[in-house]
Amino acid sequence: MIDCADHLGAMRAAAPLVHCVTNFVAMEPTANALLAAGAAPAMAHAVEEAGDFATVAAAVSINIGTPSPRWAEGMAAAAGAAAARGAPWVLDPVAVYASPWRGELAARLLALKPTAVRGNASEVLALAGGASAGRGPDAGDAVAAAEDAARRLARATGGVVAVTGPEDFVTDGRRDLRVSGGDKLMTRVTALGCALSAMVGAFLATGRPPLEATAAALAYYGLAGARAAREASGPGSFAPLFLDALAGLDPAADAGALAAAVREGA
Ligand SMILES: Nc1ncnc2c1ncn2[C@@H]1O[C@H](COP(=O)(O)OP(=O)(O)OP(=O)(O)O)[C@@H](O)[C@H]1O
Ligand SMILES: Cc1ncsc1CCO
Ligand SMILES: [Mg+2]
C-alpha cells in the first residue's frame, strides 16, 4: 500500500517552491492549483533567468504547450539546472505530435532525463516514437494503448512515466501502478493536466521514491476532482470548487480514500 496521505502531509509541511516554465494558458490555473495544495509556484521563462529560478526551486515543471524559440531555451535552461543539481523535474509533452519542431524540442528535453514525464495517452505514445490520434492538446487514444510506450520511455530515461485519463497509469518500467479518481468534467476545463504535472513536481520535492510520490500526487488530484464534481453544475463552477477541494483534502481524514485510489499491477 502506498501511504498517499503521508506524501500529502510531507508535501504540505515542506511547502515546496515549484518553478514552472509552462504555457500561456496554464500559468494561472497551475499557480492556483499549487497554492491551493499548499505548495508555492514561480512562473518565469526568460532564458536569462530560468536557470536561476530552477537553482533555488525544490522542483521544476517544464510544459511545452505554447513554445517559441526563445521560450524553448528557457525550458532547456531550467531543466538543465534542475538536472545538474539532482533536483526533481517533470516534463509535460503537450501535443508533442503536433509539429516536427515541437517533437524535436520534446526530444531535447527528454535527453535531460526528467524525473517524471506526465502526459495524456496520445502524448506518451508520440513521445515514445509511436503513432497517436491526439488532436491539439487533447488525447485521442486510450490510456491502455500507451502502457507499453510508457514502460519503454521510463526504461529509456530511468524516470517515471505517468499516463493520465479516466484511470491513470504510472510506471518506472518495472513496477506498474494504476490510480483511479477524477471526473470527466476535468477534460472540460483547460490546463488541468498541465497543473497536475506541476503538482507531481511538488510531491517529488519531498524526496520520496518518485514512482510512489507521482502516484500519490495523482491520487490526491483525482480525489479532489471527484469531490469537486459532486458539487459542480458544469465546467464553470467546477474550476473554483476544484481549488477548494485541493485545499480541503486532509491527510488524516482522507487517508483511506487516497490509499484506495492506488492499486499495483494489472
Ligand atoms: N475521462 C475522465 N474521467 C475521470 N477523470 C479524468 C478523465 N480525464 C481526465 N481525468 C482527470 O484529469 C487528470 C488530468 O488528465 P488529462 O489526461 O485530461 O490531462 P491532459 O490531457 O494533459 O490535460 P490538459 O492538456 O488539458 O492540461 C487525470 O489525472 C484525471 O484525474
Ligand atoms: C489549450 C492549449 N493550447 C496549447 S497548451 C493548452 C493548454 C492545455 O494543454
Ligand atoms: Mg496535457
Q: Domains in the chain, ordered, with CATH?
A: 4-264 (3.40.1190.20)
- Residue 104 clears pLDDT 90, i.e. is over it: yes
pLDDT score at 89: 99
Q: What is the ipTM of this complex?
A: 0.98
pLDDT score at 266: 78
pLDDT per residue as tens digits for the range 200-243:
999 999 999 999 999 999 999 999 999 999 999 999 999 999 99
Measured distance CA(187)–CA(193) in Å, rounded:
9
Looking at ligand 2, which residue's alpha carbon is closest to its atom 5? 65
Mean pLDDT of 141-156: 98
Q: Is the pTM of this model over 0.95?
A: yes
Query: How far away, in angstroms, is 98 Cα from ligand 2 center?
Result: 12
Mean pLDDT of 152-178: 98
Looking at ligand 1, which residue's alpha carbon is closest to its atom 20? 193
Whether ligand 2 lies within 6 angstroms of the CB of 194 is answered as yes
Whether ligand 2 lies within 6 angstroms of the CB of 26 is answered as yes
Mean pLDDT of 129-146: 97
Looking at ligand 1, which residue's alpha carbon is closest to its atom 9? 165
Mean pLDDT of 94-109: 98
HSE-up (13 A, CA, CB side) for residue 152: 12
pLDDT per residue as tens digits for the range 65-90:
999 999 999 999 999 999 999 999 99
Residues, CB-to-ion distance under 5 Å, ligand 3: 94, 193
